[in-house]
Structure 1
Amino acid sequence: MIFDRDQGRMVLAIVVVAVVAAAILGVTDIVTRGPITQAQKEALHNALTQVLPRHANDPQADLLSVDGVEIYPGKDALGNVLGFAWEVIAPDGYSGSIRILVGTKPDGKVYAIRVTDHRETPGLGDGVVKNSNWLQSFSDREVEGTRWKVKKDGGDFDQFTGATITPRAVVKAVAAALGFYNSHRQAIFDAVTQQNSDPEAAKVE
Structure 2
Amino acid sequence: MATMTQSIRRSAIGLGLFAVITGGTIAVTQALTSDRIAEQAARAEAKALFEIIPESTHNNDLLNDTVVLPANNRLSIDGSVTAWVARQDGQPVGIIMPVVAPDGYSGTIKLLVGIDPEGTVLGVRVISHKETPGLGDRIETRKSDWIKDFEGRSLNNPQPREWNVKKNGGVFDQFTGATITPRAVVKAVQKSLVYFRQNRQVIRASLNRPSSGQGPEITPGDLTDTPLNLEQS
TM-score normalised per structure 1: 0.83
Are residues 11 and 185 of structure 1, via their aligned partners in 2, closer, same or farther at CA, if it must alter by over 3 Å? Answer: farther
Distance 1:47 1:105 in 2: 16
Distance 2:153 2:135 in 1: 24
Q: Are the counterparts in 1 of residues 44 and 127 from structure 2 also a CA contact under 8 Å?
A: no
Structure 2 counterpart of 1:114: 125
Q: Single out whichever of 164-173 and 117-126 deviates more from structure 2.
A: 117-126
Are residues 20 and 173 of structure 1, via their aligned partners in 2, closer, same or farther at CA, if it must alter by over 3 Å? Answer: same
Deviation, 1:111, is 0.6
Q: Secondary structure at the match of 2:155?
A: coil
Are residues 19 and 195 of structure 1, via their aligned partners in 2, closer, same or farther at CA, if it must alter by over 3 Å? Answer: farther
Distance 1:30 1:48 in 2: 28
Which of 169, 173, 181 is residue 166 of structure 1 equivalent to? 181
Distance 1:158 1:174 in 2: 15
TM-score normalised per structure 2: 0.74
Structure 2 counterpart of 1:152: 167
Distance 2:11 2:68 in 1: 54
Number of residue pairs matched by the alignment: 194
Structure 2 counterpart of 1:43: 44
Q: Secondary structure at the match of 2:86?
A: strand
Structure 1 counterpart of 2:10: 9
Letter in 1 for 2:110: R
Which of 34, 41, 58 is residue 61 of structure 2 equivalent to? 58
Q: Are the counterparts in 2 of residues 52 and 104 from structure 1 also a CA contact under 8 Å?
A: no
Q: What runs of 5+ residues in structure 2 fail to find an aligned partner?
A: 71-79, 214-233
Deviation, 1:174, is 0.6
- 1:23-38 matches, within 5 Å, as 23-38=24-39
Letter in 1 for 2:155: V
Q: Secondary structure at the match of 1:137?
A: helix
Q: Provide the identity percentage.
A: 39
Distance 1:33 1:195 in 2: 33
- CA deviation string 1:44-68 (max 9, x = no partner): 1110011124322333322322221
Q: Secondary structure at the match of 1:16?
A: helix
Distance 2:58 2:68 in 1: 20
Which of 149, 157, 162 is residue 137 of structure 1 equivalent to? 149
Deviation, 1:192, is 3.0
Deviation, 1:145, is 4.1
Deviation, 1:103, is 1.0
Structure 2 counterpart of 1:203: none
